[in-house]
Chains A and B, each alone.
Chain A
């Protein structure tokens, strides 16, 4: 067991968890923030993407203990006010259908803009989405959403 303390969405949280606990399990089961999802076992689908110390990571491929002392942001914590511009862009561009991949998509999209800037072309967005799988949208409107959201961030 480990005693963990980290900042999640701006608040300090702590808990005693087994060392095998994944960060996503800590977030979902211990903190009950269920917006972060698990869609695969092989670190590919990206439904679990969160930001750790400002960088996008797959929370299914990181132990909670590895994030001890870190600053974690989940989909529940991205908005400063009502909605983050990227969240709004996904709604306005119909960038989601079933919604399951959406939190990871939005977390990846925000990270993409943080790294690559606001002026993103389609090819860049598609390439940068390598780690996020959507089965519903065919990506067309996700690409549009990210382009729109980036310009408004």
Chain B
């Protein structure tokens, strides 16, 4: 790792100020992606501004039907929240399958979403749950937020503070892990919103990162059943292909995971 300067931020304003004072600083949350990247010398921020001690960014609140998860909430806390499990067990289930137990104690939902790794789990849930991404500056609709692999609508001095979404009527996540990394090779989050609309977020498989599958959404909106998407088409041309699986295999996995997610959601 190259040299860096570590700072703890007390607030989002403090974090922005510290970033502004640095040459080439970066925010760090759980650091479960950034620190390995720095160890490999693929990233060399002059300064690291740690967001994990900003109290306002932590915790889960449920206000009626609306769920808000602070950006600095770690995966383990999402996975084990009884309050959250009562209204949206699917997000707890998803969080319980991110990385491994040690990673889940460090990694945060804000960090995962801001990084937008094409094989990360949370982005698919945000898309399917029609979440809004709250920052220190504004609130961004999920459909406008994820703009391609490792790319988001965030500006340089913008920090995700929380994500918020309405509890769905039904939802579930089904993931096929990469045998080596255990990241998603195909992860599908299906949600039936309380307004009746179905949304489907797909991660791990797309060559341009997380995406919504509109064909499946239409089918599931009219008929919430695994059978309804049995004939859904997944374009192999839009799929990733690598040594772990070619595009045809990933396209198949997307369909299988989608069906399993619908079955799991009930």
Which of B33-41, B129-137, B227-235, B236-244 touches A? B33-41
A128–B36 CB distance below 8 A: no
Q: B80's closest neighbor in chain A, by CB?
A: A115
A19–B3 CB distance below 8 A: yes
A65 to B50 Cα, complex, angstroms: 10
Q: Number of contacting residues on A, CB 8 A?
A: 29
Q: Smallest Cβ distance from B263 to chain A, in angstroms?
A: 20
Chain A residues lying within 8 Å of B40, measured Cβ to Cβ, are 41
- Selected from A22, A65, A128, the residue in CB contact (under 8 A) with B101 is A128
B3–A20 CB distance below 8 A: yes
A131–B36 CB distance below 8 A: no
Q: B34's closest neighbor in chain A, by CB?
A: A61
Which of A50-58, A80-88, A94-102 touches B? A50-58
Against B, the Cβ 8 Å flags (1 = close, 0 = not) of A99-124 are: 00000000010011001000000000
B103–A62 CB distance below 8 A: no
A112–B4 CB distance below 8 A: no
Chain A interface, >50% SS class? mixed
Against A, the Cβ 8 Å flags (1 = close, 0 = not) of B29-67 are: 001100110111000000010101000000000000000
| Interface: B13 (CB within 8 A) | no
| Interface: B153 (CB within 8 A) | no
Q: Smallest Cβ distance from A11 to chain B, in angstroms?
A: 23
A-contacting residues, B84-107, CB 8 Å: 99-103, 105-106
Chain B residues lying within 8 Å of A62, measured Cβ to Cβ, are 31, 35, 106
A12 to B2 Cα, complex, angstroms: 28
A55–B35 CB distance below 8 A: no
Q: Number of contacting residues on B, CB 8 A?
A: 26
Q: A130's closest neighbor in chain B, by CB?
A: B100
Q: A116's closest neighbor in chain B, by CB?
A: B101
A111–B35 CB distance below 8 A: no
Against B, the Cβ 8 Å flags (1 = close, 0 = not) of A38-78 are: 00011110100100000111101111011000000000000
| Interface: A137 (CB within 8 A) | no
A55–B105 CB distance below 8 A: yes
Nearest 7 interchain pairs by C-beta: A131-B100, A19-B6, A65-B6, A130-B100, A55-B105, A20-B1, A58-B102
B residues with a Cβ closer than 8 A to A are 1-6, 31-32, 35-36, 38-40, 48, 50, 52, 76, 99-103, 105-106, 181-182
Q: A22-B35, A131-B103 are in contact. List 16 more A-B contacts (CB 8 A).
A: A19-B4, A19-B5, A41-B39, A43-B32, A43-B36, A43-B99, A43-B102, A55-B105, A57-B105, A61-B32, A61-B36, A61-B106, A62-B106, A115-B101, A131-B100, A132-B100
